[in-house]
A and B are shown apart, each in its own frame.
Chain A
Amino acid sequence: EDKVVQSPLSLVVHEGDTVTLNCSYEVTNFRSLLWYKQEKKAPTFLFMLTSSGIEKKSGRLSSILDKKELFSILNITATQTGDSAVYLCAYKTSYDKVIFGPGTSLSVIP
């Protein structure tokens, strides 16, 4: 059965800390891995990863995929209170199916 596992499930850090969120998956027909940030409403897209070893960056956020070991990480440096959210990892199959992991709830305290 296809599945996505995220760790930790919740995390509390202080402003300025660096965090690493983990996502591992066991899927068939893998096509891409997606990271989303969800605050109170709909998820907002962060990254899409399809190739191993190529880091994607956007400001203080970065992500990388390891297709051999079937995992991805999302790094956030110099965290701010506005980074508090649930971070969702999802994979997309060749048949356009998207399956989400349980999410990591990040709280950044001043």
Chain B
Amino acid sequence: DTEVTQTPKHLVMGMTNKKSLKCEQHMGHRAMYWYKQKAKKPPELMFVYSYEKLSINESVPSRFSPECPNSSLLNLHLHALQPEDSALYLCASSQDPSGTSSNEQFFGPGTRLTVL
């Protein structure tokens, strides 16, 4: 299995809803990432998990809450979002967070989120 999967593909939610985005990989990768991408802009890093521990939080508002239950799964819990949070949310994984081996990131297809 050489892919990163994300569910759901599309999500529409109100500002008072609570929802979760899910990401899964079975490549044995030990680093997992969440990115936010607005239209016609590059991906912006939100969070990095290395060996299931949060290693980077790019000053993301607390209405976004990441969780890494195990080495294959990464969740992003959403609560009280704003319309400007509407974007494509991308998950990625890479093999070795701190080593010297080839370390390209594999991206999932993304979740298109719309906040009403």
Contact = CB atoms under 8 A, between A and B. Distances in A.
Interface stretch (A12-20, A58-66, A67-75, A95-103): A95-103
Contacts of B56: 95-97
Nearest to B43: A100
B42 A96 contact: no
Nearest to A94: B98
A97 B45 contact: yes
Contact of A45 (B50, B55, B105, B108): B105
Interface size class of B (residues with CB under 8 A): 20 to 34
Q: How large is the interface on A (under 10, 10 to 19, 20 to 34, 35 or more residues)?
A: 20 to 34
Contacts of B74: none
B110 A41 contact: yes
Contact of B104 (A45, A95, A99, A103): A45
B31 interface: yes
Interface string B77-116: 0000000000000100010011000111111111000000
Contacts of B105: 34, 45, 98
A32 interface: yes
Contact of B108 (A32, A42, A95, A98): A42
Given A42-B109, A92-B103, A95-B55, A100 B42 contact: yes
Which of A43, A88, A92, A96 gathers most chain B CB within 10 Å? Answer: A96
A92 B105 CA distance: 10
A72 to B, nearest CB: 15
A3 B62 CA distance: 26
A80 B98 CA distance: 38
Nearest to A99: B45
Interface of B: 31, 33, 41-45, 48, 50, 55-56, 90, 94, 97-98, 102-110
Given A43-B43, A88-B43, A97-B48, 12 more contacts: A32-B103, A42-B107, A42-B108, A42-B110, A43-B90, A45-B105, A45-B107, A48-B102, A95-B55, A96-B50, A97-B45, A100-B43
Interface of A: 32, 34, 41-45, 48, 88, 90, 92, 95-103
